[in-house]
């Protein structure tokens, strides 16, 4: 089934680009008949590593080719410049790392990895000046390193140890054929030898030593010993790596792999030890960059994962372009430049917005670096990119005006840690909400089934970008229930267990007809702002509170202040009875994990100018009554008086439910109703003064049970001359503490059946209980309630009103019982929000302050010594 609307793009990065801010092209360099796989630069030169095995050296001042560094016999996969040593490292598909002097442009060292060509292609390298060590990421999944501080490893091979074979190739005489990397194509039926052409990393045919080994006779040949190898450092190729800023005297290395993980290693000891592993779950990690305490992982399917190194948490996910590999990334302070497999280049700002996007290459953008301009023009920076279009392009870029990213404080302090509501994402909340509102996720209408599915998918991606670990939960492959979105914002790990709070909400909405007489002043599925309010279906019930709460968690993550796990459980059928929700929760309870408290924001204040906390909901029993005479509809003039009319039976039966004083007549119905306390009477008096409504009216709406007859439907043409043969009625009971739901349901059935039997009618009665929900009452003395109440008072500057709701939210009492903990209800909207009605709205102030209240509450409960459930 096709969606009935245009699916909004999932990215939360606002498009703030314009032609005026896109970098201008300074110069293009042409790499003859070869892809540009790697780049490096110093003050004088740009170095480019190519697929055709050589390194081009380009003069920064003139952009002319200075020279070509030859010697590799495979593609140059990695380049790394060591500024203090003035060395250029190059790694290749020929399973060697070469070290060149950037002063003399001569070869200094050739480093052979352990197992030689058994290590495969050397995809990535990085240099630690403090350790005087080069780290190497290998195709055989090993992590290897060579330390120039260790004289024992410097075993020089003289020029005479080189063996010029009959083919003219120049290799160390210890070189042996590898059964995989030195294999011919199978159809050639040849045994492996060192001259086989197995991919881009091998050459065949005669090549002179002069052309392939520039000044090789003056180079030292170094071997990495078995002690300097971590086998199976990853479960995939090690495509990228970077040395991280020193922390507490510890030098760390980050590696990214085809196994979809980023690993952190402590390299301060002789052998690197694993510190932490980040799960990315978006394909192979093809690019890594780091700044301050933040690391960015570019993934195969077009996502960038942003991790905080101090708290070891995911703080954001960027959707650059879904399904398009991210090949290279570079940083200029807080600006992130991302190069993709479609040749595009995008710039993202400190707020993770896209501030520039342009086509960089006619093909794949394979490599990038940021470097200072030439010595003659040292006033700014260049972004240098290379592609498979044989081009190296130099782009003029400027330092961002605003500061570093939220977690990159240079003095080591936590920026904004106590600054509630300041918001690292000031516009993200509204931007996300506008996309969320555009999805007509109407659960009661089967024609919107696909829209609901798209709503769940979009919300999963939205929460993932804000820093959550996400999943879609379902009953099974053939389940008709809409998906439940599970998203966990993981707080930082401290010395004590973290509280785990479940935020419950729903992404489905009720219908919003848009006709001449339907009352909407603007498109209900297009977020519209008027006079300080946002309008749209679901903006207050319940999409606005969901986005506000998620942005609160995202802000705390960015400030390293999220000390709890906040678990979002967002269903898609609350507006039509939450069918299937219980089964989904029970099936995936282990995935959801233990919960200490439940937070709900799915109601409104009692008035427009005083914040509230809801501490009670009535339960509900929806019941259908069917009376049928098993015959056809008949004419009243012909059969009137001769038949026992189902309508008469229905009228008499419904009349038995209440007396003349509207007291419900079901036996023992009021036996368990909890008496009103003195504190409640005082509260209702206060609320009566504020709302200008009688206290008795508030009490009857919130804490007293009720019975409603919703409709009566008949068969036939529905005109005044027909006696219908079938009559159906829908009724509901609202129940309160301490009425037992199952007992009330059975009592209702028994009363209806007995009353009907007393009519002695030949007609038949059918009773169907279509939907039930238990009542809920919060604990006003509970730690969690008091923390929420305190957070509201601090944000609004006034003590919140304690209110109850006459309606029902079936999942709230169910979740309390299922997870064995207390629930809290924080209304964000005002009484005039028009939930379920035309022109549904929410105040921008309420949305912003609601987000800030969530932040305050999470900070408070994070400091709790031991959660009380």
- The runs of H, that is alpha helices, within 347-415 are none
* Contact of 331 with 314, CB cutoff 8 Å: no
573-574-575 Cα angle (round to 5): 90
* 207: Cβ contacts below 8 Å, ≥ 6 apart: 73, 168, 169, 170
Residues 219, 225, 227, 232: is their CA dihedral positive or negative?
positive
Query: In 3-state terms, the chain is what percent helix, strand and coil (to 5)?
Result: 20, 35, 45
Q: Classify 109 in phi/psi space as left (phi over 0), alpha (psi -120 to 50) or beta.
A: beta
Q: Taking Cα atoms as reference points, which of 89, 72, 96, 78 lies closest to residue 129?
A: 89
- How far is residue 575 from each of residues 144, 219, 544, 835, measured CA to CA in Å? 57, 75, 16, 12
Integer CA distances (angstroms), 232 to 77, 229, 363, 639, in order: 20, 9, 33, 89
β-pair partners for 148: none
Instruction: List the alpha helices (DSSP H) in 656-782.
Output: 678-691, 695-702, 741-757
Taking the C-alpha atoms of 340, 345, 349 and 353 in order, what is their torsion angle to the nearest 10 degrees? -70
Q: Which uninterrupted H or E stretch holds 246?
A: none
- The single-letter DSSP state of residue 816 is H
- Catalytic residue status for 508: yes
- At which residue do the structure tokens 């302050």 appear? 849
Task: Note whether 580 and 588 are within 8 A (CB).
Answer: no
CB 776 within 8 A of CB 616: yes
Element (H, E) at 476: none
- Distance, in Å, from the CA atom of 821 to the CA atom of 536, rounded to the nearest integer, reads 34
Catalytic residue among 335, 574, 575, 728: 574
Q: Measured between alpha carbons, how far is 565 from 502 in angstroms, rounded to an integer? A: 8
The verdict on whether 427 is a catalytic residue reads: no
Please say whether the beta carbons of 717 and 653 come within 8 A: no
How many residues appear in the chain? 869
Task: Measure the CA–CA gap between 267 and 247, rounded to whole angstroms.
Answer: 12
C-beta of residue 257 within 8 angstroms of C-beta of residue 290 = no
**Whether the Cβ atoms of residue 795 and residue 552 lie closer than 8 Å to each other:** no
CA pair distance 253, 243, nearest whole angstrom: 5
Q: Residues 851, 552: contact at Cβ < 8 Å?
A: yes
Neighbours of 709 (CB within 10 A): 13
Of 350, 398, 419, 553, nearest in space to 21 by CA: 398
Q: How far apart are CA 786 and CA 393, in angstroms?
A: 60
844-to-600, 605, 712 alpha-carbon distances in Å? 19, 15, 41
Query: Distance of CA 274 to CAs 118, 143, 262, Å?
Result: 24, 12, 11
What residues contact 46, with CB distance under 8 A and at least 6 apart? 29, 39, 40, 57, 58, 60, 371, 384, 392, 394
What is the rounded distance in angstroms from the CA atom of residue 502 to the CA atom of residue 516? 41
Selecting among 325, 389, 409, 508, the annotated active-site residue is 508
Cα–Cα dist 225/98, whole Å? 17
Q: Which positions ≥6 away from 190 have C-beta within 8 Å?
A: 184, 196
Closest CA to 263 of 118, 135, 418: 135
Q: Which token pair is 715?
A: 């068969």
Q: What's the sign of the alpha-carbon dihedral 777, 780, 784, 786?
A: positive
Active site (catalytic) residues: 508, 574
């Amino acid at each position: 089934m096709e969606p009935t609307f245009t699916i909004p793009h999932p990215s939360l990065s606002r498009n703030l680009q314009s032609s005026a801010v896109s970098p201008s092209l300074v110069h293009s360099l042409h790499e003859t008949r070869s892809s540009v796989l790697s780049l490096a630069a110093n003050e004088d030169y740009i170095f480019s590593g190519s697929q055709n095995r050589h390194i081009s050296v380009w003069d920064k001042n003139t952009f002319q080719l200075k020279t070509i560094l030859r010697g590799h016999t495979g593609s140059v996969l990695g380049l790394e410049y060591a500024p203090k040593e003035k060395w250029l490292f190059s790694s290749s598909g020929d399973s060697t790392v070469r070290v060149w002097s950037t002063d003399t442009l001569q070869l200094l060292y050739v480093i052979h990895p352990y197992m030689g060509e058994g290590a495969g292609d050397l995809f990535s390298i990085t240099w630690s000046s403090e350790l005087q060590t080069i780290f190497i990421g290998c195709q055989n999944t090993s992590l290897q390193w060579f330390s120039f501080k260790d004289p024992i490893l410097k075993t020089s091979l003289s020029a005479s140890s080189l063996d010029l074979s009959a083919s003219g190739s120049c290799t160390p005489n210890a070189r042996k054929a590898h059964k995989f990397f030195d294999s011919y194509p199978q159809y050639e039926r040849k045994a492996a030898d060192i001259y086989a052409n197995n991919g881009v990393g091998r050459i065949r045919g005669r090549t002179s030593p002069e052309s392939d080994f520039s000044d090789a006779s003056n180079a030292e040949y170094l071997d990495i010993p078995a002690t300097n190898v971590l086998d199976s450092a990853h479960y995939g190729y090690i495509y990228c790596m970077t040395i991280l800023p020193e922390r507490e005297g510890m030098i760390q290395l980050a590696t990214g792999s085809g196994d979809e993980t980023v690993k952190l290693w402590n390299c301060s000891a002789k052998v690197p030890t694993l510190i932490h592993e980040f799960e990315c779950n978006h394909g192979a990690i093809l690019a890594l960059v780091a700044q301050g305490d933040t690391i960015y992982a570019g993934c195969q399917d077009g996502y960038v994962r942003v991790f905080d190194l101090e708290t070891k948490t995911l703080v954001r996910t960027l959707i650059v372009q879904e399904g398009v590999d991210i090949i290279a990334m570079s940083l200029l302070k807080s600006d992130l430049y991302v190069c993709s497999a479609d040749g595009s280049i995008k710039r993202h700002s400190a707020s993770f917005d896209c501030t520039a996007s342009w086509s960089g290459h006619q093909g794949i953008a394979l490599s990038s670096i940021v470097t200072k301009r030439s010595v003659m023009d040292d006033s700014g920076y260049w972004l240098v990119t290379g592609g498979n279009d044989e081009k190296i392009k130099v782009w003029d870029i400027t330092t961002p005006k605003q500061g570093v990213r939220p977690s990159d404080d240079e003095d080591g302090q936590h920026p904004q840690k106590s600054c509630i509501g300041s918001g690292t994402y000031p516009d993200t909340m509204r931007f996300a909400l506008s996309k969320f509102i555009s999805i007509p996720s109407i659960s009661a209408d089967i024609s919107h089934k696909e829209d609901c599915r798209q709503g769940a998918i979009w919300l999963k991606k939205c929460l993932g970008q804000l820093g959550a670990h996400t999943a879609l939960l379902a009953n099974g492959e053939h389940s008709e229930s809409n998906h439940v979105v599970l998203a966990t914002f993981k707080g930082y790990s401290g010395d004590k267990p973290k509280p785990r709070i479940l935020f419950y909400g729903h992404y489905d909405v009720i219908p919003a007809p848009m006709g001449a007489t339907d009352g909407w002043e603007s498109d209900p599925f297009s977020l519209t702002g008027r006079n300080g309010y946002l309008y749209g279906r679901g903006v207050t019930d319940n999409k606005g509170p969901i986005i506000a709460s998620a942005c609160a968690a995202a802000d705390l993550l960015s400030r390293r202040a999220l000390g709890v796990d906040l678990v979002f459980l967002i269903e898609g059928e609350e507006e039509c009875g939450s069918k299937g929700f219980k089964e989904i929760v029970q099936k995936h309870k282990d995935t959801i994990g233990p919960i200490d408290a439940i937070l709900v924001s799915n109601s409104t204040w009692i008035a427009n100018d005083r914040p509230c906390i809801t501490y009670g909901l009535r339960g509900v029993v929806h019941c259908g009554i069917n009376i049928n005479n098993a015959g056809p509809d008949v004419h009243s003039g012909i059969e009137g008086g001769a038949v026992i009319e189902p309508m008469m039976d229905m009228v008499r039966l419904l009349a038995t439910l209440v007396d003349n004083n509207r007291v419900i007549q079901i036996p023992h119905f009021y036996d368990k109703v909890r008496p009103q306390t003195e504190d409640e009477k005082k509260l209702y008096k206060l609320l009566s003064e504020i709302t200008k409504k009688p206290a008795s009216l508030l009490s009857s709406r919130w804490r007293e049970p009720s019975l409603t007859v919703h409709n009566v439907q008949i068969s036939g043409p529905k005109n005044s001359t027909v006696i219908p043969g079938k009559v159906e009625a829908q009724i509901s009971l609202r129940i309160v503490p301490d009425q037992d739901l199952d007992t009330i349901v059975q009592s209702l059935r028994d009363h209806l059946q007995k009353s009907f039997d007393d009519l002695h009618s030949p007609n038949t009665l059918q009773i169907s209980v279509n939907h039930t929900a238990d009542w809920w009452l919060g604990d006003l003395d509970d730690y969690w309630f008091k923390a929420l109440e305190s957070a509201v008072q601090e944000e609004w500057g006034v003590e919140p009103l304690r209110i109850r709701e006459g309606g029902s939210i079936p999942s709230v009492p169910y979740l309390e019982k299922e997870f064995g903990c207390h629930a809290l209800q924080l209304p964000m909207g005002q009484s005039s929000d028009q939930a379920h009605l035309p022109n549904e709205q929410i105040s921008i102030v309420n949305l912003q302050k609601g987000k800030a209240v969530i932040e305050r509450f999470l900070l408070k409960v994070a400091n709790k010594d031991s959660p009380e459930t």
